[in-house]
Structure formats: C-alpha cells, structure tokens
Structure 1
C-alpha cells in the first residue's frame, strides 16, 4: 500500500506483465519461430487472416457498424455487401489472389466494403490518399499495377484524363455516383452491384467466395505519408495487420496488471463508438481503428471532413466513447468554445499518435474528462500502425513517452556505427515485430535501406529508458543543426506547447549563411488566447538553452497545415521564413 492508503503502483514490472500476458494458451500468447525467413516472436493464437475476422463479424447481426450522416449499416448488412462485392470482384472483374485493388475515396461506408471484399478473396487491398493530385494518383495506380480501382466521383474527375496512361487499370468502379452515363466501358457503378448503404441489409445472404488465404500471404499495399518525395508502397501480410491490434490489446491489458488487477473479460454487450477523424487510408484508420472495431463489435461514425464544431453534436447524439487521431484533434475538442453546450460525458478514451503531443495534454484530458483514459502511442505505416501504446497510470507518470512495447515487439536504439546504444542514449529507433511490413512494392533499393533482417529502420531519433519506455526525440531528417549543435525539434515544440496559450506548434530550420540553420516556429493559439513573440521566446528560454530558442515565431489561429495523415507539412512552413545572416 502507498502512504495514503491507495494500492501501491506499479504492482508489477513491465517485463513481468508482458511475460504474464504472453503465456502459452492465452489469447495474447507469444511464441518464437521463423516468419518469412526471419526468426522472431509472434502471436501464436492470432486469427489466421483478415477474411476470418470478416466472417466472424457476421455474428454481431443487427448491431450498427458504420454511420455516416443519414446512412447506416449493421454488421449483417456490411457482411452481405462485402460478400456480394467480393463475388463481383472475383467473377465480374476476374480479380485473383495477389491482384491489386485500389480504394480511393473519403470515409464513406463503401470504403470498408471494398477493402474487406478485396482482402476476402486474397487480393492486395491498396488504399490511396484521397487528397492526392491527379499526377500523384496516376503515379500510385501505375506503381502498384492496380487492376481495379474503387473510387468516389471526386477522384474520378481527377483521374478521368489519365486513364489512357493506365493500361493495367482494367476497371474503375465509382461509388456514390451522381451521373447516369460515363460512356466508358472501363467505368462501372458500385451501387449497380450492391445498392445504396441503407439497402445493404436487403441483400441475399451469401457466403464469401471460396478462396484459400494463408497468414503470411500479402494483404495490403499502404502508401507512406512522406511529406517529401514520392510515397512508397509498404506491403503487409495478413499476420502483420492482425498483429497490430494484438500489440494494442496487450498494452491495454497490461495497464490492469500494472494496477494489480486482472484484465477484464471482453464485454461485448456494451458497444463502444469511435468518431473517426482520420482517413481510412491511413494505417491508423484502417489497421488500428477499422479492423479492431470489426473484431469487437463496435461502431464507427465518420464525417465528410473533420470539423470540431460539427463533431460536438455528433459526440452527443451518437454517444461517442472514443475520440482522437492526432493530438491536434484532441486539442480542438478540449479547447472548443462550444464544448460545454453539449453532453460529452460518453467519452471514455482519448487516444492519439502520429505526431508529437504536449505532456500538458494528459492533464487537460483528465481535467475535462475525469473518467476518460488518455492514450498515446507510436507506430508508422511500415509497422502497420501500433507498435507501442502508453495509457492509464503509465501515461500519467510518463506523459512524454510513447509507451513500452509488448513482448512481441523489440525496440533498439542504434548509433552511427550500427551498434545498439544503452538506455538513455539518443540514436535511431529500430523496430522488430510480427506487425512489420515485409518490403516496399517494386523498390528493392528502399527495401534494403529500411527492412533489415526483420527490423524496420525507422528514421526516428529516440531513446529508451531502463524499463523500455520509448521517448521520441525527432525525425532524423527534421533535426536542426545550428553552428554544429544538434537541436531536436520535439524538445522545442514541447516547450512551446507548455505555454497555456499554445494549442499546436511546429519547429523548422531557417537557413543561415553562417550558422547553417536557426530555429523558427509556427504556432496555433487556443481560441481566445493571446501571447506575444517576446513573451513566448522568454517562456522557451526558461526551459532550454539559448541557442534552441526560436529566433522567429509566427502566429496563427487556424490549424497548422497537415497532410491527410495528420503530419505537419514542414516544407510548407519553411517557405514562410526568409534566410538570415
């Protein structure tokens, strides 16, 4: 017991908790074996394929799965649509195992149907960024050798003039079509095959096509969200995608063991609801939200476009339990001036990742939603989203950490000479896990650089503490060097976040002819808050060395520019600053 009479915490170490959860015969059991020629740990009791999850989801029957504006689909309706569309892909469009089927649209209900239909027949589901330009879409479709693309009308208008340059793209299926006639034999209407969302429940109940799929067969081709250069297609197997949510489940169960409690049995009688504020085409949206939702029988509510003002009534009306995505989204809900006009008491989880978060965010969540569990994690497209997760008391005690890995995930910090560094040392983060992608599509050069004997070379600068908790320091390519001194953007951003007027911040390098670079910052202020540049610079100077203090800070009330995956567009911010010196 602690001095105040409360149970001592932690009741068990991270290593002990990981080992206990991974014991043989348990749902999260971990074994060691050879996968794709590499010896590694893996989840021995994992469902074999994503198709198996789709088949099992039918048992949730009339429980709602997808809600979008005035449209909704139950689990049974969704299963019927998936099964029908899987037969359409296989029989009408001759899609075979290994063929690439692209899904390019907003978070409409048709997105999961196309995604799971492709996966259920052994095709490689290939989500693409619906924000891409026509040239970027042409590149992606060409690079992946896509056979069938399932898109929305806005995407079709973007690629219409590019179809002649895509001979491998045999068929385009447009969902939510408004035009009656396209006059192109390659173009088809999604609703002609499965009908409108609200009518899926009326479809005949037919089994999925008879196709054999193995755990280590390729499942997805997910393009990286790099803010510079051409995106790379990361190939993941069924095992890798499924291992992602088992990583998260292990970290969630570990929270209870750390308290001295037994992890509760899954309660499927109460349905949780997620307000999806990130795209399905993002690894987090597809792997960390959509697929676990299908497994648990939960509900996803999606929006045409994220807007905190519109999100508040949705949270109230749909009894949303989980919000988040990237830290900026959590902040926008927490600090919205209309927040108190709505009943947000259903919120029990505020989770985020994909971008640095201020330690203050944890305490703000606990103040606004006392019963909610804040959570932060680390992962990337190449790790199929979640590799570590920091929640509960661990997060409250280490608000600047992305969490400790489960037993199946190995992390190491590597120095410039390639040797592993001891705890506390900053170096490049490497990750080995059954949830890692296996390669980049048609990029042997990039594959050799990033995928090394089961390890993903992340490009993140980080450190590990004695217990294995991960602390991200910066992206290696975004680290600034001022007069030979390394400056990690995250530590400067964290100091900016610490000011009560700051909602979001990003640090970039300003070219300097003598020093090489100096520190610049762009800051989004909270509604109704003000702060001057000198005051904010003085605030940072109280925490960091003088050479790390931004020499110029630009202010705005609008959100910082981000790509569809929530990453700040630093190249765009750099262009705002004039060279100095």
Structure 2
C-alpha cells in the first residue's frame, strides 16, 4: 500500500510547492493586480467561464450529465445552453451584469441555466432550493434578478406568496401544466431535451467578458439578519478550478513519483450535494465541463442508491459531506456492490473524524480519502489534505493551495506566530469581492483583500491547518450552515419562552445536530413537541432542533451578559447521549 512506504515523504512540502509552481511548471504563478492589490495567480488558468464553455464542444458525444434514466451529452448541453442564452438576451433583455436566478433541484437543466447566464456576462444567482418561499423571494429581491429559472416545487412556493413578493419573470422547468399556469416553460423557449441535439450549433452572444467581471452571487447565511450574497468573479472561479487539481500533483511529488498524466478515459463523479452550493457548482460542475467528466446526479441522497450508481456508472469519485461517506461505507449494501472503480472519496463542509480517512484507507488499499477547507467567500477550496499527508495528519484540513495565502490573527487583527490559536484569514485570487448590496457586512468580513473566516484554528510549522472552533455563531449539520440567531429569534417569538440558545450536539454521521436550550416563563407547562410545532412553519426542516432542553432557571451568562454556550453545549450533549 502506498501509504505504508517508509521513505515517505521523499520530498519536503516546501520543495514540492517550489517544484510545482516554478516557471514552466503546471502550477506556475504570476503576480497580477486585482482591485489595486497584488495577487498571486495561476499563469495557465482559464480566463473566464465562457472560454471553458466554448472548449467543451470538443467533448462532443461524451455524456456530461446523468440523471436517473436521462443522459445529456456535452454537445446537447452546449446547444441547449447557447439557445437559452440567446433567448435570455433577446426575449428577456438580459445584459452583461444582469442577474439570472436559478432555483431547482439538481436537474440536468440546472447547468444549462447556469452556463446560459454566465457565458453572456450575466451574473448567475443560485438560490437555496431547500429554502422557504420567503427565502426564495428574498433572494430574488436582494439580487435584483430580472428573470428566474425554477422547477415545479420552487414555482409552487413562489406562487404561494403575494404577487408583489414574486413578481420576477419566471421560466419553469419540469413543471406540470396545473402548477405552471401561465408561466413560460423552458421547453417553450428551447424545445424538449429530445430535440437539444437538433438545435443550432452557434455560440452565444459575445459580451466581451473580462476575468474580473462578476459571475456569481451565492448566498451564505449571516449570523444576524438575512443571508448575504457572496459576489464572485470569473477569476475567482478559474483560480478554484486550478486549486482543486493540486492535491493529486502534490501527493505524487511528495512520494517521489512523476506527475500523473491526464486520464485517457472519461472520469465519472457522483454528486450528492446541491449545485447551489459552492462545492457542487464551482468544484464539481464547472471542472467537469472543463475536463470532460461525467457527473451523475441524485434526486435525493440515499446511500444504497449511491452504491447502485457507483456500480452502474463506474464512478471514480464522490464529493460530499463526511456524513454521506460514513453512510456509504456502513451501508448493508456496501459489501455486495462493485465499488472497484472508486479512486477516492473526498468530503468537506463539516467536521470529519480522523477515523474516517483510516477506514477509507483500510477498505480501499492504495487509495485515500480527501478533505479540505473552503467557504463560499473563497470560491470553494483554500486548503486541501489528501493521500499520505492525510493519513499522517488525519485531524488537519491540510495546508494552503498555491492560490491562497493564510494567516492566523488575534481579536485585533494582528498576525500571530506559528502554533498560536486565533482566527483564520485568507487572501488570494479566489477570494470574492464582497457581499452583494451589503457594504456593512463586506467591511466587517473583508480587509485589504483578506477574508476573515470566523473560524478558530492553529497552523503548524509546515502550514497544516487545524480547525478548533467557530467564532461565528453557527453549527454545521451534514454540510449545511445553520446560523443560531435565526432559530433563536424564532424561539423567542413564542410567548412562553424568555431565553433561548442554540448549540450543536455532536453526531458522528451528520457532524452536528441542532439542539435548543430554552427558559420557559414561570407558571407555564412547555414541552418539546410544542416548541417544535412553533418552529415548524418558521424554519426549513433541517434547522429544527432534535432535542429541546426546557428550563425554568436563567441560562448561564458571562459577566458581559453573553450566554455561555460552551457550557450549554456540554450539558445538552450529555443529556442527548444519556440512555432512555
């Protein structure tokens, strides 16, 4: 097994980076100016999304998207997206810089909508399809979208709102006539999927896209108030496209092997996470179009279905959250399915137990798990850990990829020495401009190009990052960011609740579960079921607490009046794990 080689590492980490980023090397760097600041960028990166889209024609009849029994080739995708781009420009007046929203499940039409918008210089606005009707309407209003492409479920939610809350022109995907009503269907614009291949083979309108033009607004929840839209550029996304390929090259040099050659057969990836996440969009869908890979979609995550697809589609890799990997490996179907095509399993977005990478290495000799650290604000990947490095440091999210600079700072923003504990800041060509239409939040999170992550870390002498805690008041359930203040505000709307605190309950599969501690008004009889029913119409289902601890006494507070959540977290975790 590769990971057992006693002479590893053959090359130091510093020397590996020097080799891979030197002049003429695959990850050669150059210093450019972005917004008046010097930024290190990859010299050989694509310049914009349109260049990837045009190059994708070369993949021709290769399968790009698989969804259940449907298959969409690269050629069909190119023609459909180009046809939609023309209709958006001609029928809806979409201009460079206009916002086009997308709200749907992972259907094959999702990438068609995304590329149709971005290749004509519009800004794609992927909305969280798990959100409520009000969440969707907010995204449309805040982004100023001039058109939205939605599936039947999202259309029904929007139609439930007053007309002035959902007045954006809509294009319906996979929607029955009864729900669609007068809404234009995508098929009315570009024809049904069976006719995509017969569409004209012509490029979309040329809008002279530049690398630092705006490309996406991806909403990420804030600790207070409404979601914030991270405004990303073409350059941000192109930097990430190179970042995600670095781990394999680094591993090869570290073990003294030559760089891996480009694959001579098509690779296949299983995508169990939503396209509207930065992982699904920036780190799976966009690289697949660039590299000619096949992306296999799932209507809904299910470990047994995933194993069936791995066997049927000869899946080489899956990128999700740690909980999905655990469920896959521990499924009763795991032993009877042919998973020999898998070359690795990667995960992120939530805490991963060191046990997971060791389990993968044991089940797949010579192959490895992979993890990393990133954020919507960093266009996905900022650090990566894989191969022997991950086995050696299974509790680390890895060192920075070449396109990123990292530093650890104190509360005042001063850099700290190696090994000190503080907040992680990130700088690089992958860091977004800021938050759309929100200068106050932008000023708080971005300083001279550095993004303040809100995560508490330490970094060792070689640059490996270890996540310790979150400064931002949030928890992560199965890869979904859940901001505590939103649930706390909903709890405090109950007339019999005086105080409320949301904390994470550790869970091996999902990382964290939502736990609530509330102080009830004296003389009332409040039970958990009443609290949940109060929250149900106010919150998305994944934000509902699985355990509610109801108290009469005041919640513990610091001298400054802040609730001591660390204490509550420990108390609630103990109660939740107690038998009975």
Asked whether the two chains share a fold, i.e. TM above 0.5, the reply is yes
Counterpart among 192, 201, 206 of residue 210 in structure 1: 206
Kept in 2, the 8 Å contact 1:358–1:400? The answer is yes
Note closer, same or farther for the CA distance 1:9–1:323 as it changes in structure 2 (3 Å cut). Answer: same
Taking the TM superposition and a 5 Å limit, the aligned residue runs for 1:386-405 are: 386-405=381-400
Q: Does 1:123 align with 2:122?
A: yes
Flag the 1:258–1:85 CA change in 2: closer, same or farther, 3 A: same
Superposition deviation, residue 248 in structure 1:
1.7
Shift of 1:202: 2.5
Aligned equivalent of 1:149: 148
Q: Contact conserved, 2:323 with 2:509, CA < 8 A, in 1? A: no
Give the one of 490, 501, 505 matched to 1:521. Answer: 505
What does 1:94-109 align with in structure 2 at a 5 Å threshold? 94-109=93-108
Aligned to 2:495: none
Match of 1:79 in 2: 78
CA-CA distance at 1:276 after TM superposition: 0.6
Q: Which residue of 2 aligns with 1:174?
A: 172
- Whether the 8 Å contact between 2:158 and 2:166 is mirrored in structure 1 is no
Aligned to 1:9: 8
Look up the match of 1:572: 545
Q: Tell me how many residue pairs correspond in the alignment.
A: 506
* Residue 70 (str. 1) matches residue 69 (str. 2): yes
CA deviation map 1:461-500 (0-9, x unaligned)? 0110000011111111359xxxxxxxxx99xx9xxxxxxx
Task: Tell me which residue corresponds to 1:232.
Answer: 228
Mapped contact 1:23–1:30 kept (Cα < 8 A): yes
2:244 corresponds in structure 1 to 248
> C-alpha deviations, 1:285-339, integer Å up to 9, x for none?
0001111111111100101111112212111111111123100000000111221
How far apart are residue 261 of structure 1 and its match? Answer: 1.5
For 1:334, which of 311, 329, 335 is the aligned residue?
329
| CA deviations over 1:221-279 (Å, ceiling 9, x no partner) | 00014576421000000000110121122232111111112212212x21111111100
Pair 34,151 (structure 1): closer, same or farther in 2 beyond 3 Å = same
In 2: Cα distance, 1:135 partner to 1:188 partner: 22
Secondary structure at 1:236 match in 2: strand
Which aligned segments of 4 or more residues in structure 1 are displaced greater than 3 angstroms? 180-184, 225-229, 516-526, 566-569, 573-581
Match of 2:358 in 1: 363
| Contact persistence 1:522–1:573 (CA under 8 A) | no
Would the aligned equivalents of 2:223 and 2:473 in 1 still touch at CA under 8 Å?
no
What's the offset of the Cα at 1:579?
A: 7.2
Distance in structure 1 (CA, Å) of the matches to 2:419 and 2:92: 55
Deviation at 1:377, TM superposition (A): 0.5
Separation of aligned partners in 2, 1:438 and 1:574: 39
Q: Given that residues 357 and 368 in structure 2 are in contact (C-alpha distance below 8 angstroms), is that contact kept between their aligned partners in structure 1?
A: no
Whole-angstrom distance in 1 between the partners of 2:74 and 2:509 = 42
Cα distance in 1 between the residues matched to 2:190 and 2:392: 50
Structure 2, unpaired ranges of 5+: 489-499, 511-539, 556-580
Q: Deviations over 1:125-179 (max 9, x none)?
A: 000000111111111100000101000011010001436225872x210011220
Aligned residue for 1:572, secondary structure, equals: coil
Q: RMSD between aligned alpha carbons?
A: 2.9
CA deviation map 1:418-456 (0-9, x unaligned): 211112111000000101111100100000011111110
Counterpart contact for 1:18–1:406, Cα < 8 Å: no
CA contact (8 A) 2:64 2:71 kept: yes
CA shift in 2, pair 1:519/1:49, >3 Å:
closer
Residues of 1 paired with 2:347 and 2:504: CA distance? 26
Residues 525/61 of structure 1: CA separation in 2 closer, same or farther (3 Å cut)? closer
Name the residue aligned to 1:484.
none
- How far does residue 49 in structure 1 lie from its aligned partner after superposition? 0.4
In 2, are the aligned partners of 1:109 and 1:197 still within 8 Å (CA)? no
Q: Which of 301, 309, 314 matches 2:309?
A: 314
Residue 91 of structure 2 aligns with which residue? 92
Could you list the runs of 5+ residues in structure 1 that have no partner in the other structure? Answer: 480-488, 494-505, 527-565
Q: What CA deviation, in whole Å up to 9, does each residue of 1:494-544 have, x standing for no partner?
A: xxxxxxxxxxxx9x99x9xxxx99998354689xxxxxxxxxxxxxxxxxx
